Amino acid sequence: MAQSVLAMIGSSVHSGIQGEDHHLFRVYKAYSSEARLALLQVLSWGCPKPPSQTFDQYLFSSGRSCRFYRKAFDSQQRGKISTNPSGDRFDVSLLFKMIQLACHSLAPPEDEVWITPDHTRLEYLLTSIKNARNALVHNVSVTTQEKMVEEIETLRDLLTKVVKISGTLYCVNSGMVNQVLRIIHYNLNNIRDQPFAPLDLQDYSNHLVFDSLKATLCLNGAQELKQTYSSKIFLNPLSFLDKNECHLQVGEVFTCLSVQDLRVNSRSRLVHCKELLELMETATSDSEGSCEIQNPSLMILEGQPGSGKTTLLRLYVSHWIQGREDIKGLSDYDLVLHFECRDTCIDSFTQLLLSHMPQTTAKFRKNDLMHVFQSLKAMVLIDGLDELNTTSQKVIREILHLKSSCDLTLICTSRAEKIREVHKLVSDKARVMHMKILGIPIEKREEFVQAYQHQLKQHGVSQQDISGLLEYLHEVPSHLQDFFRFPLNLVLLTFLWDGAQLRVRKINSMTMLYLETHRLMIEKFLDRLMYHPSTHHLPLAKLTSKCESFRAVLYEEALRALAVSEVYLNERATKRLTELCISLDLPREEVFSAFLVATSDDHTLSLSEKVKFPHKGIQDFYAARHIASLVKEGPFPDLSLFISKLDELMKESSVPTFAWRQIVKHTQRLLGKPVSIRSILLEFHEDQSESQDIGRYQNVICHMVNLLHSSDPRSIEHYAAELVTLLDVAKGMSFEHWVDILKESHYNPTLAEEISKVLPKFSWTVRDQDVRAAAAFLSHNCPSQLTIDIMNDPNQLPHLHELLQTAATCINCKIYIFFHHHWRRPEEGSSNSLLLRLVPAQDNSVSPESPSSPDSSDRLRFIDGPKICLLELMGHFTGQAVHMLPTSIKEIRLALADDHDALDWHEALPKLSHMLPSLRNICELPSFAMSLH
């Protein structure tokens, strides 16, 4: 293997270059010069391009796509290709690839003829030269003069056949062929027989060492990485739920995710994980119209807690380790590295390589390691940019700097609230491709639950029948469907179903799922304590009280850790919780395993066990519980009595008068009013004035909304303005995020009014799951543009009529309405009654139950009050709908259910140009499209 070269070169450091080294260098020189010369000659004869045209230009003119070109050649190769029209600076590997793609009269690269032994075929001979050159670097056996001569003569025979066969194939005159052969023979003889100059020896030594180190890092390093990451291909989702060690292979439970491309205003698309690399390649080509851009794309996967960000990256690691081909392009990478931004032990990219490949990198000097790494095609999967700390930020900056000089692909994950900061960090160093994970599509959720439950049964963890759960998912109300799109929520739901089926029916929000799951976890934990040797003698009430005491401190530590962007508990917190277990006479290991997860980090230099929260979303929930408990305490109950006792104490202590007055003043101000949520959030921050710190608490505040509403609906009204202000200051809140917040409050009207004040002014897109919230918002505020995009049956969607009626009152708002279900299945219902809901509220004389009367519907054009600005409409409308349409309409996408519909519209068409002067286009499904001018 390549280690033999390293051993040979390493021994030469002390003893000088020996005679056997000369033999090795001669063979290496023969391949690096004469084999390269022969392949260059084949390329020049077989590629019919003008001398001034570069090979990339030739490939594009021959029909090769940018995407294909970028996949075939790495960034260093593309740099050589674009600046070297003759190809005389190409190495053997690049010449071989280019011959396969650019030379005519050869078999396609995937043809078996390239690897089938046949010394009469040019394809096989070229492959033999390339393989022999690689074998020289990967497995050195030439040490004696006799072996050196044998290797050179073998190469001479190969090169002779290649030149002669290619000369015949490309109709080169025999004089030219013989001249090339004479040059090759002459040079091979000199390489074999002439003494080396000192500079030549050093040059050959450097090149051979580099190629050997590259082979070592590529082969041994990849093998060691796969061993290091072997634990990452397994998930243990029940470790914090039921103290079960159930390691599930990520590929067995992972399903597709719906991903939205945020670079443009495009619709979300269903994306399997195998498509992400293809999307990056496509985006790189499409965005510039050129295959060469200075900073190739970096993908940021934005997602809410539990949306599958971490699992998706682990799936990539799993597939790379297993060598699976279903993620297209993944097998092309020499190395795939995985880095978690919460890591505090690794402070440089070099250390990342050293810690993840300790045995392989021990053979390298640090400078050589980075130099060799940059010659490889590598990918770095970066998990949790929103969890960056001081040390991991240094690593990320180094990776971004390194990216500009090598073929490095980056796929990163982050929460939504940190996206602005992430863009600031990377946008000036790489071209960003921003994607948003929306979750598991509704049609795939039952499949996910079935796969997950099947794996649990395979591991003997659960034998519960889930047919009822699948039925529940199939019939879940529309306002909850969006909630179950996240994998973590479905995992929690399955766990809850397995332990307490009746509780599933109570769930109506994300926080409620967390609450019910947490209650079940506590019950199971208390059951275990009832049989534990150290606590079995205690009554349940006593154990419950002790558990509450521990959880109160745990919730506080969750908030403390968030303040420093940590998911791990530091030494102080771990010690505090340990001492608390001792004081409460609770078994530490049992208590910790119920609420936390222990992990071992091996970073070569140290082996340490850390305790962390099982998931960032769980940590957020714990922190919200702590804040809710403090808010629930309310203002001080008897402030005057407390002040009087404080007065007596200060007089006894001889406190100076001015200081005493200040203490009383601040005490009255602090205790005389309810505590603010902001002050609690920033309690553990060194600088409590930094508003940007609020962003990390976005999910905590979301939980707070539900906890406040559940404890006392009046408290949400008291804190509504502050909650909205905190989220607005945090930035990064989309319309969809605000909808989720309102759902957590069960659509509290006070909170809806406060949210409406900070919603985007320009455009809202309202989908099925947003209808009720959007109706509440619209009653207080209207955007400049409103898109109502309904995929399911609108007649079965609660609150849609309310939304449409409210939309009719919007002033200076351009409205676009799409009823996809009626458009696809017109036979299942008409959209006429929905259209009639757009009648402005002032016209109470028109009955929404009778849209078919021409007399009544004609009156819609002449009513007083604001006129709706409806520009585009999609659905199934009968001909009578023409009398209901406002004059602002520009385009109608019309579905016809039967001949009656067609006849109605045929009769209505002559009136359109007069009644609807702005109408420019009617698109009919399925037969025709007609433009009106």
**Cα dihedral across residues 556, 560, 563, 568: positive or negative:** negative
**Among 113-122, 348-357, 538-547, 602-611, whose mean pLDDT is lowest?**
602-611
Q: Kindly report, residue by residue over 826-883, the tens digit of the pLDDT.
A: 888 888 888 888 764 434 444 444 444 444 334 344 334 446 789 999 998 887 777 7
Q: Are 184 and 30 in contact (CB under 8 A)?
A: no
Per-residue burial over 761-789, b if 16 or more Cβ lie within 10 Å, else e, is: eeebbbbbbbbbbbbbbbbebbbebbbbb
Look at residue 916 in the predicted model and tell me its pLDDT: 83
Q: How far apart are CA 337 and CA 376, in angstroms?
A: 12
Q: Are 398 and 348 in contact (CB under 8 A)?
A: yes
**Cα dihedral across residues 739, 740, 743, 745: positive or negative:** negative
Look at residue 279 in the predicted model and tell me its pLDDT: 76
Q: How far apart are CA 775 and CA 806, in angstroms?
A: 7
- Exposed/middle/buried for residue 325 (C-beta within 10 Å: 0-12, 13-18, 19+): exposed
- In this prediction, residues 172-189 reach a mean pLDDT of 92
Cis peptide leading into residue 926 (ω within 30°):
yes
- The two beta strands, 297-302 and 408-414, are parallel
Please give the model's pTM, rounded to 2 decimal places: 0.72
Closest-CA residue to 742 (of 729, 755, 758):
755
User: How many other CB atoms are found less than 10 A from the CB of residue 17?
Assistant: 18
Maximum separation of any 2 CA atoms in the chain, in Å: 116
Q: How far apart are CA 284 and CA 68, in angstroms?
A: 12
User: If pLDDT is split at 50, 70 and 90, which confidence band does 243 have?
Assistant: low
User: If pLDDT is split at 50, 70 and 90, which confidence band does 932 have?
Assistant: very low
User: How many other CB atoms are found less than 10 A from the CB of residue 522?
Assistant: 16
Look at residue 545 in the predicted model and tell me its pLDDT: 96
Look at residue 508 in the predicted model and tell me its pLDDT: 79
Q: Please state, for a pLDDT cut of 70, what percent of the chain lies above it.
A: 84
Q: Say if residue 600's pLDDT is above 70.
A: no
Q: Are 135 and 2 in contact (CB under 8 A)?
A: no
Secondary structure of 109-145 as H, E, C letters: CCCHHHCCCCCCCHHHHHHHHHHHHHHHHHCCCCCCH
Look at residue 308 in the predicted model and tell me its pLDDT: 87
Q: Kindly report, residue by residue over 82-105, the tens digit of the pLDDT.
A: 899 999 999 899 999 999 999 999
DSSP state of 218: I
* 692 Cβ contact list (under 8 Å, min separation 6): 421
**Cα dihedral across residues 720, 721, 722, 724: positive or negative:** positive
Look at residue 722 in the predicted model and tell me its pLDDT: 93
The SS3 assignment for 51 reads coil
Look at residue 429 in the predicted model and tell me its pLDDT: 66
Look at residue 141 in the predicted model and tell me its pLDDT: 56
Q: Say if residue 778's pLDDT is above 90.
A: yes
**186-190 long-range Cβ contacts below 8 angstroms, 24+ apart:** 187/33, 187/34, 187/37, 188/30, 188/34, 188/152, 188/155, 188/156
Closest-CA residue to 609 (of 620, 596, 600):
600
Tokens 């990918």 locate to 379
- The two beta strands, 257-261 and 269-271, are antiparallel
- The two beta strands, 785-790 and 814-819, are parallel
Q: Say if residue 128's pLDDT is above 90.
A: yes
Look at residue 287 in the predicted model and tell me its pLDDT: 44
Give me the chain's average pLDDT, please: 81
Looking at the DSSP bridge assignments, the partners of residue 378 are: 335, 408
* 338 Cβ contact list (under 8 Å, min separation 6): 229, 232, 313, 314, 317, 356, 380, 381, 383
Look at residue 261 in the predicted model and tell me its pLDDT: 75
User: If pLDDT is split at 50, 70 and 90, which confidence band does 796 have?
Assistant: confident
Secondary structure of 534-560 as H, E, C letters: CCCCCCHHHHHHHHHHHHHHHHHHHHH
Look at residue 573 in the predicted model and tell me its pLDDT: 94
The residue ranges of DSSP E strands in 313-389, in sequence order, are 335-340, 378-383
Backbone angles phi, psi at 874, to 5 degrees: -130, 140
Look at residue 541 in the predicted model and tell me its pLDDT: 95
Q: Kindly report, residue by residue over 693-715, the tens digit of the pLDDT.
A: 687 888 999 999 999 998 888 88
More confident position, 672 or 27: 27
- In this prediction, residues 715-743 reach a mean pLDDT of 88
* 284 Cβ contact list (under 8 Å, min separation 6): 66, 70, 291, 293, 296, 297, 431
**Cα dihedral across residues 415, 420, 421, 424: positive or negative:** positive
Look at residue 565 in the predicted model and tell me its pLDDT: 82
The SS3 assignment for 925 reads strand
Q: Say if residue 931's pLDDT is above 60.
A: no
C-alpha distances (whole Å) from 675 to each of 43, 234, 635, 712, 777 are 78, 44, 7, 16, 28
User: If pLDDT is split at 50, 70 and 90, which confidence band does 553 have?
Assistant: very high
Q: How far apart are CA 456 and CA 252, in angstroms?
A: 11
User: If pLDDT is split at 50, 70 and 90, which confidence band does 13 have?
Assistant: very low
Q: Kindly report, residue by residue over 556-582, the tens digit of the pLDDT.
A: 999 999 988 888 899 999 999 999 999
Q: Are 211 and 137 in contact (CB under 8 A)?
A: yes
Q: Please state, for a pLDDT cut of 90, what percent of the chain lies above it.
A: 32
Q: Say if residue 192's pLDDT is above 50.
A: yes
User: How many other CB atoms are found less than 10 A from the CB of residue 914?
Assistant: 7
Q: Say if residue 8's pLDDT is above 50.
A: no
Q: Kindly report, residue by residue over 436-482, the tens digit of the pLDDT.
A: 888 888 888 888 888 888 877 777 766 677 888 888 888 777 667 77
Q: How far apart are CA 97 and CA 99, in angstroms?
A: 6
Q: Are 188 and 37 in contact (CB under 8 A)?
A: no
Tokens 């001249």 locate to 179
Q: How far apart are CA 699 and CA 703, in angstroms?
A: 6
Tokens describing residue 541: 């009430």
